[in-house]
Structure 1
Amino acid sequence: MSRKIELPSAAEMKKFHNQSKRQTFWSKISMPQRLTLGFLSVITVGAGLLMLPISHFGNLHHSFMNALFTATSAASVTGLTVVNTATHWTVFGQFVIMCLIEVGALGFMSFSVLLFTATRRQMDLRHRMMVQEIYSLESLYDTRVVFGYVIKLSVVIQLVGALCLAPIFIQDFGVKRGSFYAVFHAISAFGNAGFTILPDNGVAYTSRPLVLMILAALIIAGSLGFLVWRDILLYRHTKRLSLHSKLALVMTGSLILGGWLLYELTQRNLAIAHTLSPVNRVLNTLFMAISYRTAGFSQFSFNQMSPATILLTMMLMYVGGTPGSTAGGLKTTTLGVLLLKTHAALRGKKDVTFAHRRLTNENITRALLLVFVSLVFLALLSFLLLLTQGTDTHFGLEYIVFEVISAFATAGLTLGLTPHLTGFGQCVIMLTMFIGRVGVYTVMFSILNVHGEHAPYQYPEESVIIG
């Protein structure tokens, strides 16, 4: 007995054809491109929410460009603002900004991986490669393990930070406002975002160093990177740290200590320092060394800073935090690799070693390329910003360069230029913040769609004169 074969209807055939087209479209998009599009989507949604009447006070208005700038700054955990976060936005608007900071700090892909983990579904290769890109992993096999540490560690650190800040803020602002302030600043500090909703940007807390030290601990925790924290927490069992963690810890400690000592040297004649006790002045300077490099919380106006302090701040911001962390910048391990390479070259050594390990040539080449590309990128964007902002005599070259470096490093410090940016200037800074958060390599590979290729032949080798 023959069976009747049912052919698909025209509507089913059309649906199947459209699904095939969508799969073909997504299959052509590289991992860096998907990561870039994901961040753009988060920023767009955030800007739309900030345009709602419930997000800002009725007598204060802003353009979509201002909302987009704020959303970009929050999602890229930068902290540059064109309007006052404490007075312009309502609690709902501040809550949206806080959520954007959290998404930007942990990476938008973390939440999709959380969905896979919660539903006990197996991650495919595409999702694991995207997590690898976000957290700078060397291999793909442990992406879910790393994600578990990311979520658990982040929640615990931010919760502890909020609980430590809550008694102080509740005493100053009441239970509701104080609790919200504690949660907001714990997330902002851990995300190295630099957003604050405290009156006068928290200037009153310069004489209360306990708040500064809690924020500093959260900043360091976020800027170290999740892979470093994983090694630290597992050290009791493994009795070893990876080479990446060792170099990151050495460089972070050196930058904090060196920045602290140099700020003490450059700020010893600071007028406001004479109003603080010696202990408070030292702790405030330590907070500067920690915050200015990655987070951007500033308890002093830069109008009170010496030129040497401004230059030192630009150098620290350019270095930034550790790969795979909530901080931006060139990254501490990149600087460490270059210093090791320089030390080896000056001593006539071919191999670059650290902690009884030899660094690969790929590591060194990647570090050199990142420095060159980032410097060219900063120079180009500074030039573009000078074309429109340079006509204003109130803001010289140092204002422009400082603003661009701060945006690239997602540090969020400014000499006062941000509220006066033109429409084109805001676009330049938004692009800089976005690239600073997503990463130079990710954006570069997104545009160029780079694929590894091996040439079937090699040209003869010859040298040129250097120096």
Structure 2
Amino acid sequence: MEKISRFKLFDTLSKKMVWGFILLITVGTILLSLPAATNGMRGTSFINTVFTATSATCITGLTVVNTAEHWSLFGQIVILVLSEIGALGYMTFAVLLFNIIRRNLDLSTQLMVKESLNLENLSDTKSVMRYVVGLSALFQVGGACLIAVDFIPRYGWKWGLYTSVYHSVMSFCNAGFDVFGNSLMGFRDDSYLLIVTIILIIGGGLGFLVWRDLLLYHERKRLSLNSKLTLVTTGTLFVIGFLLLLMTEKDLTLLPKGTSWFNRTINTLFLSVTPRTAGLVTLPTNDLQAGSIFLIMILMFVGGTPGSTAGGIKTTTFGVLMLQSIAQIRGKKDVEFSRRRFSQTNISRALLLIFLASVVIVIATLILTQTEKIPKGFGLEYIVFEVLSAFGTVGLSLGLTPHLTVIGKLVIMLLMFIGRVGIFTSLYSLSKRQTKFNQIRYPEENILIG
């Protein structure tokens, strides 16, 4: 009975979250369809408007039109608000809604939030909400102030303050939209700005529950297993990605010869962080070496932390599978980490997530190979890169997105939606599956593997 109720609870939550995101995309589409949302009141085609609203709500950053040139101040603010709301995550959406209308959370809503956040007790729902809002405000306001030190002297008070706030929000939300027209390519020599941006990206991609654990460590004197695995996996991917990019890019030979060693290092650090769903770039992605592009594709597939502003299969999923592989190689039955062992349910769920993600990516790639044209000088990576970028809600591109056909745009939009809402949430909201208990268990028999 408990398992059935838990499934029904998650099923109800899934439907609410999916429809909540659809409603948000719809509102965004209506606002961006207004003539006032574009420069020169020229308007935007319906498919491009829906695509932009979806990309903003799913905090991806893939664009079919240039944000700085096409959208007016009003349109850019709509995109900013959509990204901000989307970045809060579907897990806190119900709590946020009740706070806005000033209603106390009823028991069923508290149970749904507790289930979606994997909290220990119901009392954690309000405290988690405070941390989500508080940390978001702290990072984004603090980031805007730090960036303003650079931008206000450069652009003046009005434009400098606006771009500081915009860039801070988009960096923390891992959204990838920019109001400069070429992302951060004009700031590749500005190490100060890149360092602040890296901090904001990592802050948003680490996850609110992990930050709560870190901030409360002085009281609890311990970290949860989820936080430990997240920090270890994130740090490992960051270091390995940085070192491999130093090798594949040969210390960023794309940069001018006079570029200092420090600036080359910061740009390489930025390049290793941004594929974790940030989508901001200082160098043209299609000018990178093949090895770098392949590595970035792997990082986009992994993504960030559950409960954060990031997409992908998530660091915890990747960490569990790595530990499972190591345990199997060593001949251990249990998968252990930090004096704890993972349940078989955790491992099975991670394997299922990888399988479903792979199926979605393969199907999307097959469709796009039939509908999109690959330019000379590129191969299949031209499409796969875009698919992984959409699924991981990253926003990096090799140039395909602005030239997508209508079918291609629909496929990319669906990938962005699944990547942000989550595969399990998307599938459970559509299925009518019920938990079944087998009354008969058949004998085991082994088959050949490998």
TM-score for the superposition, normalised by structure 2? 0.93
Q: Are residues 150 and 296 of structure 1, via their aligned partners in 2, closer, same or farther at CA, if it must alter by over 3 Å?
A: same
Q: Are residues 135 and 284 of structure 1, via their aligned partners in 2, closer, same or farther at CA, if it must alter by over 3 Å?
A: farther
Distance 2:317 2:10 in 1: 31
Identical residues among aligned pairs (%): 49
Q: Deviations over 1:331-378 (max 9, x none)?
A: 111111011111111111101110011111111111111111101110
Aligned residues: 442
2:350 counterpart residue number: 367
Distance 2:395 2:159 in 1: 24
Q: Are residues 97 and 230 of structure 1, via their aligned partners in 2, closer, same or farther at CA, if it must alter by over 3 Å?
A: same
Distance 2:338 2:357 in 1: 28
Distance 1:195 1:134 in 2: 28
Which residue of the other structure, out of 140, 148, 159, is the alignment partner of 2:130? 148
1:294 counterpart residue number: 277
1:227 counterpart residue number: 209
1:328 counterpart residue number: 311
Q: Once the 2 structures are TM-superposed, how far is the Cα of residue 30 of structure 1 from its aligned partner?
A: 2.3
Q: Are residues 374 and 199 of structure 1, via their aligned partners in 2, closer, same or farther at CA, if it must alter by over 3 Å?
A: closer
Return the letter of the residue paired with 2:262.
V
Return the letter of the residue paired with 2:294.
L
Is residue 2:31 matched to residue 1:52?
no
Q: Are residues 277 and 264 of structure 1, via their aligned partners in 2, closer, same or farther at CA, if it must alter by over 3 Å?
A: same
Return the letter of the residue paired with 2:246.
E
Which residue of the other structure, out of 200, 203, 221, is the alignment partner of 1:239? 221
Is residue 2:56 matched to residue 1:74?
yes
Distance 1:391 1:298 in 2: 22
Distance 2:118 2:404 in 1: 34
Assess if the C-alpha contact under 8 Å between 1:107 and 1:134 holds in 2. no
2:73 counterpart residue number: 91
1:193 counterpart residue number: 175
Q: Deviations over 1:169-207 (max 9, x none)?
A: 111222111111111111111111111112432222110
Distance 2:427 2:295 in 1: 29
Assess if the C-alpha contact under 8 Å between 2:89 and 2:308 holds in 1. no
Unpaired stretches in structure 1, ≥5 consecutive residues: 1-25
Q: Once the 2 structures are TM-superposed, how far is the Cα of residue 273 of structure 1 from its aligned partner?
A: 5.2
Assess if the C-alpha contact under 8 Å between 1:31 and 1:129 holds in 2. no
TM-score for the superposition, normalised by structure 1? 0.90
Question: Which secondary structure does the structure 1 equivalent of 2:356 belong to?
Answer: helix
Give 1 or 2 for the bigger CA radius of gyration: 1
Question: Which secondary structure does the structure 2 equivalent of 1:82 belong to?
Answer: coil
> Which runs of structure 2 are paired with 1:243-258 in the superposition (5 Å)?
243-258=225-240
Q: Once the 2 structures are TM-superposed, how far is the Cα of residue 90 of structure 1 from its aligned partner?
A: 0.8
Which residue of the other structure, out of 268, 290, 313, is the alignment partner of 1:307? 290
Unpaired stretches in structure 2, ≥5 consecutive residues: 1-7
Q: Once the 2 structures are TM-superposed, how far is the Cα of residue 393 of structure 1 from its aligned partner?
A: 5.3
Assess if the C-alpha contact under 8 Å between 2:285 and 2:396 holds in 1. no
Is residue 2:160 matched to residue 1:182?
no
Assess if the C-alpha contact under 8 Å between 1:136 and 1:324 holds in 2. no
Return the letter of the residue paired with 1:347.
R
Return the letter of the residue paired with 2:328.
A
Q: Once the 2 structures are TM-superposed, how far is the Cα of residue 134 of structure 1 from its aligned partner?
A: 5.4
Is residue 2:383 matched to residue 1:400?
yes
Is residue 2:359 matched to residue 1:376?
yes
| Bigger Cα displacement from structure 2, 159-168 vs 422-431 | 159-168
Return the letter of the residue paired with 2:224.
S
